[in-house]
Amino acid sequence: MMDNFKIKDAAGFRLSDHPTRVSLFDRKSNAKDKINEDGKVIADIAHRLYSEANRSVLIVLQGMDTSGKDSTTAAIFARTPPLNVTVAAFKAPSKTELAHDYLWRVHNVCPKAGQITVFNRSHYEDVLVVKVKGYKDATAIEQRYEQINAFEKHLSENGTTILKFMLNISKETQGERLRERLIEPGKRWKFNPGDLVDRALWPDFMDAYETMVQRTSTDHAPWHVIPSDSRTTRKAIITAIVRESLEAMNPQYPDPGYRIEDYEID
């Protein structure tokens, strides 16, 4: 699964080559069974990662409003206890955060050894919304791609496996979901009129996403571009990729070498 959605030719990446909808499962129930099965494996490996307490995992979820960042997080970790899983959601920076460089607040919440952290939005907003809205000039944005690559290389070299997902939805799907948010009582709290401002800038955002993937898909931290118009398919793909990545890490319960015969327990 991993290889189908991983961007290997960064320079040649064109967002328009990547569909927002794919047909991967014969039936919805097959996708749900797969999510469930993968979720159990993730829970088991996450516990071993916790016990190993040596390496860590950073999952970056980026996408337009309604692309499913929260519900993807819920799907991946439906079976995993919160012992070593945390979510960091990045909103507009505070005054204190703005007084520091843009990676300062990000570094602060990176996973420690044994932990898995999900970024719901991330430092990539600093080359997305910041670029589209012109909060920084072109030179500063240009520098940021390389700064981000260096930062992620640093994390990677220091034991963090980085998995980056762009949740790729169509403008039509976003329209449907925003209308749902205005109608369904359990979703209305998520609606924010500001989302419509970003929506009006859709082509600019897509350009910024394309450049982001081109410039920051690296060997140590590749982007995965995920067709996300179908909620179930999106969850199934990402959960499968997380499972495969954890399996590749293959953390083990450490054996500190203590033996029952070494201790007398009264």
Q: By CB under 8 A, name the binding residues for a second copy.
A: 51-52, 70, 73-74, 77-78, 80-87, 118, 175, 178-179, 182-183, 185-186, 188-191, 193, 196, 199, 253-256, 258-260, 263, 265-266
Across 31-69, b (16+ Cβ under 10 Å) vs e yields: beebbeebbebbeebbbbbbebeebbbbbbbbbbbbbbb
Burial pattern 176-209, b for ≥16 Cβ within 10 A else e, equals ebbeebeeeeeeeebbeeebeebbeeeeebbebb
- Measured from the CB atom, is 13 or 50 closer to a second copy? 50
Residue placing its CB nearer to a second copy in the complex, 76 or 241: 76
Q: Which is nearer to a second copy, 173 or 245 (CB)?
A: 173
CB of 67 to a second copy, least distance (A): 16
Closest separation in Å from C-beta 78 to a second copy: 7
Tell me how far, at minimum, the Cβ of 102 lies from a second copy, in Å: 21
Please work out, in degrees rounded to the nearest 5, the angle formed at the alpha carbon of residue 4 by the alpha carbons of 242 and 171. 90
As measured in angstroms, the least distance from the Cβ of 142 to a second copy is 32
Minimum Å gap between C-beta 116 and a second copy is 9
Closer to a second copy at the Cβ: 73 or 217? 73
Q: How far is the CB of 131 from a second copy (least distance, A)?
A: 23
- Nearest Cα to 166, choosing from 245, 262, 74, 62? 62
In the bound state with a second copy, the residue whose beta carbon lies nearer, of 12 and 193, is: 193
Angle, CA of 52, 53 and 54, to the nearest 5°: 90
Query: Three-state SS string across 29-87, please?
Result: HHHHHHHHHHHHHHHHHHHHHHHHCCCEEEEEEEECCCCCHHHHHHHHCCCCCHHHEEE
Q: Using the minimum distance from each CB to a second copy, give the nearer residue, 87 or 238.
A: 87
